[in-house]
Amino acid sequence: MRGIVLIDPRHWSRCQEWDNVFSFFAPEDGMLVLRADQADHPARLEMAFLVALGQSLLGNYAGQKNMGDVHEDGERVGRVFQLTLRAPDERTCFFQPPELDAYLRLTRMRRSERNPLCYTRLITPRKGSPLPVFFLACSIHGIWTTGIASHIEYKMSSCAIPYLT
């Protein structure tokens, strides 16, 4: 990260299709970009900053992101988030490939057996689900506000426990 830029809401052009977060990391220039009105509310500013900071740790890891509906018997039962990583030699990321894979698995992303750069996650309509960067932002927030990393470690380890169906 090289710095922070605040953008006037009138000039905010980011798609909010998947979330209501008004910040991002711009890997091309290393800047955290926050919508300026978030600075008017400390809690919103903090979350916007932490999401962008989390994105900066992930860098330009994502080659492509898609969200699609999942239907069963003609009824929408959820959505699937698909993430395709850039090739390791094209990636600027804080995490080494095995660490990035471990992190994505902890956020309940499933790695494709056919394409190791492709990960998916099912999202139920009622529960919803944060995308990987939000989990990272929440982890940073927990460490930042409490100073107790053991709670975060416990939460992350519980994500790795398979659920019974």
Instruction: Say which residue the tokens 């978030």 belong to.
Output: 38
Containing domain of residue 87, as a range? 61-159
Residue 7 class from Cβ within 10 Å (0-12 exposed, 13-18 middle, 19+ buried)?
middle
82 and 152 both lie in a single domain:
yes
* CA angle centred on 106, ends 100 and 111, rounded to 5°: 65
Number of domains observed in the structure of the chain: 2
| Model confidence at 159: pLDDT above 60 | no
Note the pTM of the prediction, 2 decimals: 0.72
Provide the percentage of residues in the chain whose pLDDT is more than 90: 44
Q: Report the C-alpha gap between 130 and 135 in whole angstroms.
A: 6
In a shared domain, residues 28 and 41: yes
The predicted-structure confidence for 48-96, as pLDDT tens digits, reads as follows 888 888 889 999 999 999 989 999 999 998 889 899 999 999 999 999 9
Is a pLDDT exceeding 90 seen at residue 117?
Answer: yes
CA dist 28 → 3, 91, 118 (Å): 13, 12, 23
Are residues 34 and 52 in contact, defined by beta-carbon separation less than 8 angstroms? yes
Mean pLDDT of all residues in 145-164: 51
Q: Give, as one character, the DSSP assignment of residue 87.
A: P
138 shares its domain with 75: yes
What mean pLDDT value characterizes the chain?
Answer: 81
- In this structure, is residue 75 part of a structural domain? yes
Q: Is the pLDDT of residue 141 over 50?
A: yes
